[in-house]
Amino acid sequence: MSCWTSCRRAAVFAPRARVARAIERLHEARIAVLGGYIVGFDGERSADVVAAAAALDDLGVDVPFLSVLTPYPGTPQRAAYERAGRLLGDRGWRWYDGYNVAFRPAAMTPAELEAAHRELWRQAFASGRAAARVVRVAQRGGPGALALAAAMNGYYGLRQLLGRIPAAPGEEENEPAVPSRSIEEVKGASEFPPRL
């Protein structure tokens, strides 16, 4: 299942062609597109999550914001996960930051989702991809769009280069994050990996 299929199932995004046309129109107006993308919907697999890096580039997203589905209190998502027993009881509020997993995904383990999100983050902000987005905006965007794309891609690209990928609670922000286990290492794991 593709990442776009799972998003449509969740009724979060319009069909891909409609999103592509909206981004194209914003670019025609010399506006940079900051695209929020959430992973962890039912039906998504690790490969779908990682493939989103290329899909977002293909759509023309200038600055991707990559988050993990987070079942916040008071939301229908949280109520549904509570009813289904899918919330991870050992996850305190520090896990509810959009970068960490606080529930049991339907098509992978929590560890697989975390590993896939970390790999998506690494790929999306690899030096070549981040620089290509800035160059693309420089060729067709206004000065404000360029400043925004350069600042955000530069910031996230530098974090990726330094190994400061999103970290689990308890890992020091001032230190490089403990490397997350690869998707291959956690395939089939039933529990979240131990802290290194």
Q: Taking the domains of the chain in order of start, what are their residue ranges?
A: 3-186
Least confident of 4-13, 44-53, 125-134, 165-174: 4-13
pTM over 0.85: no
**186 or 127: which carries more pLDDT confidence?**
127
Distance from C-alpha of 62 to C-alpha of 65, rounded to nearest angstrom:
10
Taking residues 116-135, report their average pLDDT: 95
Q: Does domain 3-186 have CATH number 3.40.50.1390?
A: no
- The DSSP output letter for 171 is S
Q: What is the pLDDT at residue 90? A: 86
Distance from C-alpha of 57 to C-alpha of 60, rounded to nearest angstrom:
5
Distance from C-alpha of 85 to C-alpha of 80, rounded to nearest angstrom:
9
Q: What is the mean pLDDT of the chain?
A: 83
Q: Give the closest residue to 56 by CA, choosing from 136, 138, 115, 143.
A: 136
> What digits encode the pLDDT tens for the residues 37-82?
999 999 999 999 999 999 999 999 999 999 999 999 999 999 999 9
CA torsion 141-146-150-151 (nearest 10°) is: -140
Distance from C-alpha of 144 to C-alpha of 45, rounded to nearest angstrom:
37
